Amino acid sequence: MFSAAIFDMDGLLIDSERTIMDTWLSVARDFGVDIAPARYLEIVGRAAPECFAMLTTMLGSESLFREAQARVRQRLHAPTDTPLFPLKPGAHTLLTTLAEAGIPCAVASSSNRQEIESRLDQVGVLGFFRALAGGNEVPRGKPDPAVYQLAASRLQAAPATCLAFEDSENGARAADRAGMRVVTVPDLKVPTEEVAGMSFRLLGRLDEAVEHVPVWFAGRGGVGMA
């Protein structure tokens, strides 16, 4: 049915979205700006340039955004004894199952390529992926399909043969527009009717997909060529 799996990263493989959101909201309050969580969530899943433009609007000026961004980065990059963004429950189990089944996997993330490599390496799963595609490598971010198309190309896989795993609305749209079926595993936001309707499956956590691997990837005779 499918011959490859492509994963989002933030909020799906690693528990990062909540920490990043809480840090931005806290820093904004330090500057006297109260950003509602629901408003912040509008940026989840988008590429960095678009996120930064939206945060600039929320904060009220570019200068304030730059000050806030520096403070956020300082807090997020403070030394810690454990990974700041831990692996999400069930992620390692699913990745191991796919590896044992010989299913090639890739990451299609709005984060830049260096962040993808660093964050996945810190939680010990970088080696599961044959290809990575970052938001800094495509002209437009999610919900545009470009990053998913790039990930599929690097796997030498036709998009229609790829099963995407996403947590966000924008990510699900991007994968769907790339011609992939989407398994949605929500993180911070309850899926909209649109996302539920476009989803191949809705799951509570990644390892709920393990029992379906023999069926979803049945008869894989090699990756379909793009």
Task: Based on the fold, state whether residues 180 and 69 are members of the same structural domain.
Answer: no
Task: Based on the fold, state whether residues 122 and 59 are members of the same structural domain.
Answer: no
Instruction: Give the Cβ contact number of residue 13 at 10 Å.
Output: 30
Task: Based on the fold, state whether residues 92 and 64 are members of the same structural domain.
Answer: no
Q: Write out pLDDT tens, residues 22-31.
A: 999 999 999 9
What's the total number of domains in the chain?
2
Residue 220's pLDDT band (boundaries 50, 70, 90)? low
Task: Based on the fold, state whether residues 116 and 181 are members of the same structural domain.
Answer: yes
Q: Write out pLDDT tens, residues 131-174.
A: 999 999 999 989 999 999 999 999 999 999 999 999 999 999 99
Answer for the pair 108, 7: CB distance below 8 angstroms, yes or no. yes
Q: Write out pLDDT tens, residues 199-210.
A: 999 999 999 999
Task: Based on the fold, state whether residues 113 and 30 are members of the same structural domain.
Answer: no
Task: Based on the fold, state whether residues 11 and 36 are members of the same structural domain.
Answer: no
Task: Based on the fold, state whether residues 173 and 126 are members of the same structural domain.
Answer: yes
Residue 219's pLDDT band (boundaries 50, 70, 90)? low
The 3 state secondary structure assigned to 131-155 is EEECHHHCCCCCCCCHHHHHHHHHC
Can you give the pLDDT at residue 40? 94
Q: First CA to last CA across the chain, in angstroms? A: 16
Task: Based on the fold, state whether residues 8 and 30 are members of the same structural domain.
Answer: no
Can you give the pLDDT at residue 222? 41
Instruction: Give the Cβ contact number of residue 158 at 10 Å.
Output: 17
Element (DSSP H or E) covering residue 197: helix 193-198
Sign of the dihedral defined by the CA atoms of residues 104, 109, 114, 116, in that order: negative
Can you give the pLDDT at residue 123? 95
Task: Based on the fold, state whether residues 43 and 112 are members of the same structural domain.
Answer: no
Task: Based on the fold, state whether residues 143 and 91 are members of the same structural domain.
Answer: yes
Task: Based on the fold, state whether residues 36 and 119 are members of the same structural domain.
Answer: no
Average pLDDT over the chain, rounded to an integer: 92
Give the pTM: 0.86
Domain span holding position 119: 4-15+85-216
| Percent of the residues in the chain that have a pLDDT greater than 90, as a whole number | 81
Euclidean distance between CA atoms 119 and 14, whole angstroms:
8
pLDDT at residue 184 greater than cutoff 80:
yes
Residue 44's pLDDT band (boundaries 50, 70, 90)? confident
91: CATH: 3.40.50.1000
Task: Based on the fold, state whether residues 94 and 195 are members of the same structural domain.
Answer: yes
